[in-house]
Structure 1
Amino acid sequence: MAGSSHGHTPAAWTGVIIAFIGFCVAGTFMVMAQPAGFWAGMGVVLVGGVVGGVMRLMGMGQQHSSHPVPARAES
């Protein structure tokens, strides 16, 4: 994966950061036994996926290359 720049895009970073914040919020409210806050955090996780997908469609995601990934050398 190091040669393909997998996940090194603004869309990927933004989606993951938003989802991480949502998981933190959901985890905090789970410990506090507050179901509404937990589900709000899970909603933020879904928003992270949507934002990342929209940014990818806007051209900020991984660009498809026409060349194949080089094969690994056998040891």
Structure 2
Amino acid sequence: MASKAAVNNEYGIDPMHAEAVGHGNSVAAWSAVGVMLVGVLVGCIGFGLANTVVLGAGAVIVVLGLVVGWFMKRIGYGVGGSKSKDSDH
């Protein structure tokens, strides 16, 4: 596993691979993805029914999911946030 220092490989110093991946496992990330999945489902139903109002509602819900994730991260539910528990798995 890479340390916080830059990784020295055959191409030289590589600062992009020095940080842990993390995968975004947080309440904020899961909430954002959940809301966006609902938006995609609504959009697909609207597309299948050829209903632009329902399709547009799905697009609005997807954007709302981004806002939900950003807001929850700001209040401490993101990775390393004050309200997130640290899990070493």
2:60 maps to 43
Choose from 49, 70, 82 the match for 1:53. Answer: 70
Q: What is the count of residue pairs matched by the alignment?
A: 62
1:33 and 2:46 matched: no
Answer yes or no: is the 8 Å Cα contact 1:6–1:62 preserved in 2: no
Runs of at least 5 residues in structure 2 that lack an aligned partner in the other structure: 1-19, 82-89
The AA in structure 2 aligned to 1:63 is: G
Q: What's the TM-score once normalised by structure 2's chain length?
A: 0.65
Note the aligned Cα RMSD (angstroms): 1.4
Q: Secondary structure at the match of 2:79?
A: coil
Runs of 4 or more consecutive aligned structure 1 residues displaced over 3 Å after TM superposition: none
Q: TM-score, normalised by structure 1?
A: 0.77
- Deviation, 1:6, is 1.9
Structure whose residues are more often helix by fraction: 1
| In 1: Cα distance, 2:50 partner to 2:43 partner | 10
How many percent identity over aligned positions?
A: 31
Computing the radius of gyration from Cα coordinates, the structure with the larger value is 2
Kindly report which structure 2 residues correspond to 1:60-71, keeping only aligned pairs within 5 A, or say none.
60-63=77-80
